[in-house]
Amino acid sequence: MTQGSPVLDRSSKTSFNFSDRDFHFIVKFIGEHAGIVMSDAKRDLIYGRLAPRLRKLQLTNFSDYCNILKSGDREEIELFTNALTTNLTSFFREQHHFDFLQKELIPALVKNKTSRTLRVWSAGCSTGEEPYSIAMAVSEVLPAGWDFRLLATDLDSNVVNTAAQGIYKQERVEGMKKPLLKRWFHRGTGSNEGMVKVRPELKKFISFKQLNLLSNWPMKGSFDFIFCRNVVIYFDKSTQAVLFDRFAQQLDPSGHLFIGHSETLNNVSDRFSLIGNTIYHRAT
């Protein structure tokens, strides 16, 4: 294995030794720990994301950092995973999913379910925009008297904490319909001007938890539908197949799965039938 050249960390005018051995260890480690596949093209990204950790730990090279990961330091492994996890989301992203919820799925569940309970999972909730969007969409059409609960999970504990706080810059909700803003958000004043905060009336439906999708799932019971969007693109095909099989097992027999616009179950899983644009119905 050849020794890589030191890489200049422009933000601090320093450089950290980052060998090929270090790079390949990190790629393997994040793959085994979180199922995330990172190619050779991600070398600069890995360096940039992890350099702050080396500075914090007062290290001079990635080899020493890799040794910390090898030692099984749980806190550092969590910080390492957080640093390499990409979180990009927005309110009502992929609007057609929420249109389907309100116009077709929720009315069908209200008509056909024998119990007045609704259980939903946002798997890969990032900073919370997705689960809050789901909760708003459902709340607008679900009749009174229904027991609605939404589980929101993510691998990155930092974004889970951000999501649970429910505080966003005003620009994050620009474009949202004004009645929704008025009903579900507080506008910040004074030192909080330019910010919005999710109202308790919406938060009460959601439980935020840190969860690695590749680990054991503690949930009991089944979900009526699951959102797992723009998550599996980081996994290889074999890992995707296992994950979709587990989703099928976790869904009600008539449950639905929503995935991201760049994802597909074609040639990956036969547990679902495509019924719309990245909307699937459990088949087996």
Q: What is the residue-averaged pLDDT of the chain?
A: 89
Q: 3-state class of 280 per DSSP? A: strand
Q: Which two tokens stand for residue 177?
A: 């319909």
pTM tops 0.75, yes or no = yes
In this prediction, residue 11 has a pLDDT band, given cuts at 50, 70 and 90, of very low
Buried b (16+ CB within 10 A) or exposed e, 228-264: bbbbbebbeeebbbebbeebbebbeeebbbbbbeebe
C-alpha 221/C-alpha 93 separation (Å) is 28
Of residues 284 and 199, more confidently modeled: 199
Q: Tell me what pLDDT residue 106 has.
A: 98
Q: Is the pLDDT of residue 4 over 70?
A: no
Mean pLDDT over 231-248 rounds to: 91
Which positions are annotated as active-site residues? Answer: 49, 154
Q: 3-state class of 39 per DSSP? A: coil
Rounded to the nearest 10°, the torsion over CA 92, 195, 125, 48 is: 110
Lowest mean pLDDT among 39-43, 164-168, 195-199, 204-208: 39-43
Q: Which two tokens stand for residue 256?
A: 């639905």
